[in-house]
Structure 1
Amino acid sequence: MRKAWIVTLAAIVLVAAALTGVVLWQNSYDLREQRVTVPADGRLLEGVLATPAHGSGPFPLVVFVHGDGEVDATHDGFYRPYWEAFARAGYASLSLDKPADWLSRSMDDRARETTDTLVWARTRPGIDGNRIGLWGASQAGWVLPKVVARTPAPGVAFVIAVGTAVNWHRQGEYHLRSELRAEGAGPDRVAAALRAREATLALLRRGATYEEYRATADADPDLGAERWTFIGLNHTADASADLRAMPPVPVLLLSGADDLNVDGAETEAVYRELLAPGTLTVHRYPGAGHALVRTPVERSSWRLPLTALFAPRALFPPGLLADQRTFLEERKRGDGARSIPGR
Structure 2
Amino acid sequence: MGRWLIRLAVLAALGLIAVGLVLTVSRIGDFDLPQAAQRPVTFTHGDHRLDGTLITASEAGGVVLLVHGDGPQDRWADGGYLPLVNTLLDAGISVFSWDKPGVGASTGNWLDQSMPDRAGETAAALAALRQLPGMEDRPIGLLGFSQAGWVLPRVPTLTDEASFLVLMGGAINWQAQGRYAAIRRMQNDGQPPAAIEAELARQAVENRDWFEGSRTYEAYLAAQRAAGRAEARILSEDRFRFVRKNAQEDARAPIAELTLTVLVISGEEDLNADARDTVSVYRSLLNGVHPRSQFHLVPNATHALLSADRYNYQLPGQWPRTAQARFILSGRNAYEGDVLEIVTGWINDVAGRAP
Q: Give, in whole Å, the separation in 1 of the partners of 2:54 and 2:147.
A: 22
CA drift at 1:244: 1.8
Tell me, which stretches of 5 or more residues in structure 1 are unaligned?
336-343
Q: Counterpart of 1:34 in structure 2: which amino acid?
A: Q
**Partner in structure 2 of residue 292 of structure 1:** 305
- Is the contact between residue 31 and residue 84 of structure 1 (CA under 8 Å) also seen in structure 2? no
Q: Counterpart of 1:253 in structure 2: which amino acid?
A: V
**Partner in structure 1 of residue 278 of structure 2:** 267
Q: Counterpart of 1:39 in structure 2: which amino acid?
A: F
Residue 306 (structure 1) aligned to one of 325, 328, 337: 325
| TM-score normalised per structure 1 | 0.86
Q: Give, in whole Å, the separation in 2 of the partners of 1:122 and 1:294.
A: 36
1:190 to 2:196 alignment: yes
CA drift at 1:35: 4.6
Residue 325 (structure 1) aligned to one of 344, 348, 354: 344
- Taking a change above 3 Å as real, the CA distance of residues 171 and 17 of structure 1, as seen in their structure-2 partners, is closer
Show CA shifts across 1:157-216 (max 9, x none): 111101111111111111112222222222331122112211222221112222222233
**Partner in structure 2 of residue 109 of structure 1:** 117
| TM-score normalised per structure 2 | 0.83
- Taking a change above 3 Å as real, the CA distance of residues 108 and 131 of structure 1, as seen in their structure-2 partners, is same
Q: Which moved more, 1:269-278 or 1:311-320?
A: 269-278
Show CA shifts across 1:94-139 (max 9, x none): 0111122211211111111111000000011243544110000100
- Is the contact between residue 35 and residue 46 of structure 1 (CA under 8 Å) also seen in structure 2? no
1:150 to 2:158 alignment: yes
Identical columns (%): 31
**Partner in structure 1 of residue 55 of structure 2:** 50
**Partner in structure 2 of residue 68 of structure 1:** 70
- Is the contact between residue 169 and residue 304 of structure 2 (CA under 8 Å) also seen in structure 1? yes
Counting helix residues as a fraction of each chain, which structure ranks higher?
Answer: 2
Matches within 5 A, 1:119-134: 119-134=127-142
- Is the contact between residue 164 and residue 262 of structure 1 (CA under 8 Å) also seen in structure 2? yes
**Structure 2 SS opposite 1:188:** helix
- Is the contact between residue 28 and residue 330 of structure 2 (CA under 8 Å) also seen in structure 1? no
CA drift at 1:272: 2.0
Q: Give, in whole Å, the separation in 1 of the partners of 2:78 and 2:331.
A: 11
- Is the contact between residue 59 and residue 128 of structure 1 (CA under 8 Å) also seen in structure 2? no
Q: Which moved more, 1:124-133 or 1:221-230?
A: 124-133
Residue 41 (structure 2) aligned to one of 37, 41, 48: 37
Tell me, which stretches of 5 or more residues in structure 2 are unaligned?
103-108, 313-318
Residue 211 (structure 2) aligned to one of 204, 213, 216: 204
Q: Counterpart of 1:114 in structure 2: which amino acid?
A: T
Show CA shifts across 1:28-86 (max 9, x none): 4678542513213132222221221xx5x144210000001111111122222222332
- How large is the RMSD of aligned CA atoms in angstroms? 2.8
**Partner in structure 2 of residue 244 of structure 1:** 256
**Partner in structure 1 of residue 268 of structure 2:** 257
- Taking a change above 3 Å as real, the CA distance of residues 26 and 244 of structure 1, as seen in their structure-2 partners, is closer
**Structure 1 SS opposite 2:254:** helix
- Is the contact between residue 132 and residue 158 of structure 1 (CA under 8 Å) also seen in structure 2? yes
